[in-house]
A and B are shown apart, each in its own frame.
Chain A
Amino acid sequence: MNHAGPVSARRLRLLVTLSVILVFVFLIRLIDFQIVRAESINAESYEKRAVARTVPAVRGDILDANGNILATTVYRYDINAAPAIVRPVERKIDGIDQVVSVESVAAELARILEIDVAELLPKLIGTSHYVNLKKRVDAETHRQIVELEIPWIFADPHHDRLYPNGAVAGNLTGFVGTDGVALAGIERQFNACLAGVDGKETFEKGVDGIKIPSSTVVLQEAKPGRNVILTIDADLQYQAQQVLASEVRRLNADWATAVVIEVETGRIVLAAEAPSVDPNDPGKSPEAERGARVFQFAFEPGSTMKAITAATAIDTGYGTVNTRVRAPDSMRVFDHVINDSYSHPPTNWTMTGVLRFSSNVGTIKFAEKIPAKTRYEYMEAFGFGKPTAVAFEGETRGVLNHHSEWDGVTNYTTMFGQALSVSPVQMASAYQTLANEGVRLNPILVAGCQDADGNLTAVPKSDPTQVVSPSTANDVMYMMEKIVEQGGIGQATAVAGYRSAGKTGTAEIKEGSGYGQYYAASFYGMAPVDNPKYAMGVMIYKPKKVWTNSMAAAAGYQKILSQVLLANRVPPSTGTSPDLPTDWK
């Protein structure tokens, strides 16, 4: 017994010593893993299982003046399958476990995705883990797919742009591509406001590639974009587009535009055209119809320019509303003959009469003494020859050559709107000047950029410009009122209960080195004359079914003007127009 004791104690000590050494070795190793190399091991491990991804920021909305959404961001889903794991689907139907064949499941998918089952089935065969079945389906379709509970069907969400009112103001909003890049219009011009800042996050995945639940770490929150607030009224924009589309069809015209500007603010109430692009599907529209002709197209204005010439003559003292001229229906200027649009004997007209009967020769008679430089400077002051402050992308400046470049004939033809070109919005802006007692306000299309808290960063306004005196502007407006009161075409633009003024324009269209057989017919004006609220213009391009070209724009102008006045509850006019004689004896 005594002998066995020390041996057992030795063995015990040996065992303890070995255990201590082993523990010590493990401890060293543990310290090495957990402390010395912990950071690098963790980093290496995390790198193997972590996936980083960009969280796209939600793009801001485009709203009209009343807060109606013209463009917004929604989720769309790419529906994908993993052919490698395609197999019959187990489902509980009426409480009984059943197996649904791949063919039956494919038929269900094809019905929901609205694709041919014969096209879908081959995609489900193979060893791939990814095949796209349909791109960008809506949330409703996506939900129906989810409800099928097919374990080998997946969906990738994407932001997509939705324009709930389709082509209403589509020419203004522009559109974005399928990759989310703004391609046209306000979308592109105000991309800095609309686009937010993308976020970043990581998540971890296991060896099988499956995401580890709750492993998402947000590195940077996505910052949503802000909203762009337009000045237009979407309802009136729609009404105008309806009217224009109807007129284009009735007149067999190529296209038409309409612009309405609020006289006292310069805000553009509508800038319509027909046909107009549906930004939900811009590919359906020809390239020429994907822009905004109101800003981007320049045309020879024709007789609507006579109002500007008359304003220049009165403001510079070269004439009054009663300036007398005797005008034949044609006159020779250098080696050219300038004609009126209709035959008439030499007639004694006042300046009012010249505008009322839209005589080219009469216009020359009262304006020929005005120096070319002066007329050029007035045209510049009215906003011609340069883009408006809207600075719409691709906006035209029109063509207004320097007066030093005008030859003898051009000096005369510019008086009645030839040898120069303007955009529809430029001419509407000039008429806003006349309606606003000679004060030109730069047109405004975008009120500003609004953040989520409702704070609006307004687009800077430019200073108003006094182009002509208030009395000059009113005189021209009163002369144009006679056109609406007495003119055969002008009367067709009248809205009962309101005094309105306006001027016809029938411009020839350049084709090659000469002019083609079709015209750009327009009517620009303002209403009500006793308290002008709106300046507007309608232009019909190449109408082919009219008995007189200048008549083409009248019906559309009247319909749009009546809608604008009624929708904005403008009180009917009071009083009568001033007595301005149109001829003299």
Chain B
Amino acid sequence: MKTLNRTRARGPVVMIIVMGFLAISMLHLLLTIMTSQSVYELSDLKREKRELDTTSQIIAEEVASLSSQQNLLNTAAKLGMVANSNPVFLKLEDQSVLGKPKPALGTASQSLNLVANSAMIDTKPAKQQAAPASQAQPQPLPQVASVSAIPASPTR
């Protein structure tokens, strides 16, 4: 009877221990899942950042190309603008004219860009290409692919 009583008395304790183990296991599992989820989220965000960095670089290069002096001159020439090295000033004090107004002597050939720039981008195709890229879903960057599939690549 004593043994039976002791067994009965241990029942709730064992139950509590088992429940405790189960609870801790569940919590551990939950935390593991959440951590894993966060790791994937982090990985996605890193991937997205790389994608945005790439987009940023593409746009920055296009802007740099468009704002290069060579492109500005070509654009100005297309609009018929030529440089005039004979400035004329109006003096407000006595309303006199400094300099002799002369038409700009620039000709079509003089308005051509003569300073090389192999970094200039053909902007039209770039825009056409950029459009679908911007609409596309974020893709894993080759930086990831290269690391994951060709072991030699990352250390090259």
Contacts and interface: CB of A to CB of B under 8 A. Distances in A.
B117 A167 contact: yes
A140 interface: yes
A246 B60 CA distance: 31
B99 interface: yes
A245 B87 contact: no
A497 B99 contact: yes
Q: Is the interface on chain B under 10, 10 to 19, 20 to 34, or 35 or more residues?
A: 35 or more
Contacts of B67: 164
Interface in A472-487: none
Interface stretch (B4-12, B22-30, B141-149): B141-149
A142 to B, nearest CB: 7
Contacts of A146: 139-142
Contact of B87 (A69, A213, A496): A496
A232 to B, nearest CB: 13
Contact of B98 (A145, A166, A280, A497): A497
Interface string B49-93: 000001001101100110111100100000000010111110100
B126 A140 contact: yes
Interface in B112-126: 113-120, 126
Nearest to A213: B43
A5 interface: no
B129 interface: yes
Given A140-B126, A210-B148, A167 B57 contact: no
Nearest to B136: A147
A190 interface: no
Contact of A69 (B42, B54, B64, B145): B64
Interface residues of A, number: 68
Given A138-B61, A562-B86, A562-B87, A214 B43 contact: yes
A140 B150 contact: no
Given A69-B64, A166-B68, A168-B69, A246 B154 contact: no
A49 B83 CA distance: 65
B61 A496 contact: no
Nearest to A244: B114
B133 A143 contact: yes
Contacts of A559: 83, 85
Contacts of A143: 54, 58, 133, 139
Interface in B13-50: 39, 42-43
Given A152-B149, A276-B115, A496-B99, 16 more contacts: A51-B155, A74-B57, A80-B150, A140-B130, A146-B139, A146-B141, A153-B145, A155-B146, A164-B64, A165-B70, A168-B117, A203-B154, A242-B115, A246-B114, A276-B116, A563-B83
Interface of B: 39, 42-43, 54, 57-58, 60-61, 64-65, 67-70, 73, 83, 85-89, 91, 98-100, 110, 113-120, 126, 129-130, 132-133, 136, 139-143, 145-156
Interface of A: 51-53, 69, 72, 74-75, 77, 80, 82, 129-130, 138-140, 142-147, 149, 151-157, 162-168, 203, 205, 209-211, 213-214, 234-235, 238-239, 241-242, 245-246, 249, 274, 276, 278, 280-281, 284, 495-497, 558-559, 562-563, 565-566, 572
